[in-house]
Amino acid sequence: MLSLQLIRDHPDVVREALQRRHAQAPLDELIEVDRLWRQYTHQVETIRSERNALSKEIGQLSRLINDPQVDVRERRRAQHRRDDLVARSSFLSQQLEGLEAQLKEAEARLHQLLLQLPNIPHPRVPLGEGEKDNLVVRQWGDPPSFTYTPRPHWELAEHLGIIDFQAGVKLSGSHFYVLRGAGARLQRALISWMLDFHTARGYKEVYPPALVRGECMWKGGWLPTFAEFMYRDAEEDLWLLPTAEVALTNLHRDEILSPGSLPIYYVAYTPCFRREKFTAGREVRGIKRVHQFDKVELYKFVEPERSQEELEALVEDACAVLRALGIPHRVVLLCTGELGFSAAMTYDIEAWAPGSGEWLEVSSCSNCTDFQARRANIRFRREKGARPEFVHTLNGSGLALPRTMIALLENYQQADGAVIVPAPLRPYLAGQEVITPDDDRPLAP
């Protein structure tokens, strides 16, 4: 959420930022509602002040009227004066009741409108409308060369018997799948290894619930913008996580973090659930785009002046996973038109998938500045007794499993359809070095 004071003091800055993002946001309505809210606030405070003064004077007159030592004529004058003041106070109360209703309505609408404004892009974010305007900033590793035409992962999976697409449809419908044998073990190995990898780099592991209250979605910036893409239990207003980012943002909701507690680094594995409408074709073959997927998420709470430095470090932590696996990848700086709602700056990390012949996003690392912290009311103190400030939050996948699995299978495939297991994963697979079609068997302990 943007600072209301920023919008009041620099509306042109906010308007220009929205234009850079190509965002349709109700800024003009917000400015008008804010003007009305301040007007009603002033009127309410003025009337309350007058009514309080009247109440005080009425009390003084009442004591005068009830004092037998006061002259009768003086007491009559006091009675008349008190009657006039009581009538005025009654009129003000009626007027106040209407104004308070208008103030409450304006306040609610103002809050609704604030929640619809996206974050302001960082000055380093390139201008642009879509994917073609994103900027590739660096690449690691050369795409492997093959003496044969590399197979896409869905063909490899069928050959190896590790992904059952028909069973996924049978159980849950299109864009679900079942991992079998070595496929299930490989995914479990990736999750465990990535969690260990990141905890060794200073992240604290968290395992949150997969269902969170609607309030968490609002505070994390996922509602109202992304409501149509998420699964919800309407009866209890519980939402399935679209990403662990939602839960991790809310871990410190409505808290003031103590001096010296920052930075805080979290890593969390969760299943993730997203509703999407898919079209037929190669674009959605295999497990590239599905409704349920596993992901290891990285999250940071940091001091404001460190957030850009922490973003670069976050990208490095995600890229380090791909380097350790030996998977070619590149880092892409998103343009203004591609930024997520809460992000001020985002790098996508894309892994090369030779069988599919494309770069696949396996991580999206974002600096959300104080945007999420304002929504979730997460603050910190620099020292004891200091005024609380909003933290900056950052998030990124470390990594998303389906596409990391795709890149692994396609980069490490062999001519006979077998797949080499990258060295870091072998201890998590009881030393297994190669996945072959006959691997649907338990590994020796």
Give the active site residues: 274, 289, 361, 364, 403
Which among 340, 277, 334 is positioned nearest to 23, based on CA atoms?
Answer: 340
DSSP character for 394? E
3-class secondary structure, 62? helix
Under a CB-based contact definition with an 8 Å cutoff, are residues 163 and 439 in contact? no
Which among 219, 253, 256 is positioned nearest to 389, based on CA atoms?
Answer: 256
Cα within 13 Å of Cα(63), Cβ side: 5
Q: Order the strands of the 389-390 sheet from edge to edge.
A: 256-257, 379-380, 389-390
How many Å separate Cα 118 from the centre of its chain? 12
3-state secondary structure labels for all residues of 117-180 = CCCCCCCCCCCCCCHHHCEEEEEECCCCCCCCCCCCHHHHHHHHCCEEHHHHHHHHCCCCCEEC
270 — phi, psi (to 5°)?
A: -150, 155
Q: Is 439 left (phi over 0), alpha (psi -120 to 50) or beta?
A: alpha
Under a CB-based contact definition with an 8 Å cutoff, are residues 400 and 362 in contact? yes
Tell me the angle at which helices 401-411 and 182-199 cross, rounded to the nearest 10 degrees: 110
CB atoms within 10 A of CB 438: 10
Residue 240 to residues 219, 222, 376, Cα–Cα distance (Å): 15, 12, 19
In this structure, the strands spanning 256-257 and 379-380 are parallel
Buried b (16+ CB within 10 A) or exposed e, 26-59: ebeebeebbebbeebeebbeebeeebeebeeebe
Sequence-distant (6+) residues with CB within 8 A of 424 are 193, 197, 324, 325
Handedness of CA 49, 53, 58, 59 (dihedral sign): positive
Element (H, E) at 267: strand 264-273
How many Å separate Cα 251 from the centre of its chain? 12
